[in-house]
């Protein structure tokens, strides 16, 4: 496998073992679908809404919790909307933060299995690390199709039919 997630649990409500299992499954499915540098990795901080709200304020100017944030090590975004990003060459893809309350709340509101929603958010954030985005419609279509395809490999239904709000 050429992708690994290193989880740093900052909120006791996260189950570290379950996160590692989800991360391993997601890594295999993503690696089957996309090219990664050898020994690619991302650090995932599993935190609470307060921590992610502070990070969201610091990095995006929005003082509110969000489900997931990502910080790529290298900017890989395509120059033209709708095109695929530049392939990653740096094994350290970047960092991800995921918030417990928001993640659980979204899953419950959308009637999704919590582990499936966590997998989706991990895929979503990893795609951001790889230069994918959803600001322009053509970019969103490309990113969402990859998410749908990778989730299907994990036997997880298309979340965009159920929950349009993953941002």
In a domain, 10, yes or no: yes
* pLDDT of residue 124 exceeding 70: yes
Torsions phi, psi for 152 (to 5 deg) = -60, -35
Number of structural domains found in the chain: 1
Structure tokens at 41: 């990795």
The whole-angstrom separation of Cα 24 and Cα 73 is 21
In a domain, 149, yes or no: yes
The whole-angstrom separation of Cα 96 and Cα 117 is 15
- Average confidence (pLDDT) over 89-114: 96
pLDDT number for residue 167:
43
In a domain, 167, yes or no: no
In a domain, 100, yes or no: yes
* pLDDT of residue 135 exceeding 50: yes
* pLDDT of residue 160 exceeding 90: no
The answer to whether 35 touches 146, Cβ cutoff 8 Å, is: no
- Average confidence (pLDDT) over 151-159: 94
% of the chain residues with pLDDT over 90: 88
3-9 and 68-72 beta bridge pairing: unpaired
Q: For the chain, give the mean pLDDT.
A: 93
Q: What pTM value is reported for the model?
A: 0.93
pLDDT number for residue 162:
53
User: What range defines the domain where residue 104 resides?
Assistant: 3-162
The whole-angstrom separation of Cα 14 and Cα 38 is 29
In a domain, 19, yes or no: yes
The whole-angstrom separation of Cα 144 and Cα 135 is 12
In this structure, what CATH number is given to the domain that contains residue 150?
3.40.390.30
The whole-angstrom separation of Cα 110 and Cα 143 is 21
**pLDDT, tens digit, for every residue of 25-48?**
999 999 999 999 999 999 999 999
In a domain, 72, yes or no: yes
* pLDDT of residue 11 exceeding 50: yes
């Amino acid at each position: 496998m050429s992708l690994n997630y290193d989880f740093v649990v900052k909120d006791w409500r996260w189950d570290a073992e379950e996160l590692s299992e989800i991360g391993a499954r997601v890594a295999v499915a993503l690696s089957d679908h996309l090219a990664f540098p050898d020994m690619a990795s991302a650090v995932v901080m599993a935190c609470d809404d307060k921590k992610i709200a502070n990070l969201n304020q610091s990095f995006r100017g929005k003082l509110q919790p969000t489900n997931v944030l990502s910080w790529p090590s290298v900017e890989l975004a395509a120059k033209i909307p709708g095109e695929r990003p530049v392939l990653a060459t740096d094994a350290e893809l970047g960092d991800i933060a995921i918030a417990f309350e928001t993640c659980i709340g979204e899953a419950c509101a959308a009637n999704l299995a919590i582990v499936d929603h966590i997998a989706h958010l991990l895929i979503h954030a990893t795609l951001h690390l790889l230069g994918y985005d959803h600001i322009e419609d053509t970019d969103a279509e490309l990113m969402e199709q990859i998410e749908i395809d990778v989730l299907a490999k994990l036997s997880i239904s298309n979340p965009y039919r159920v929950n349009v709000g993953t941002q």
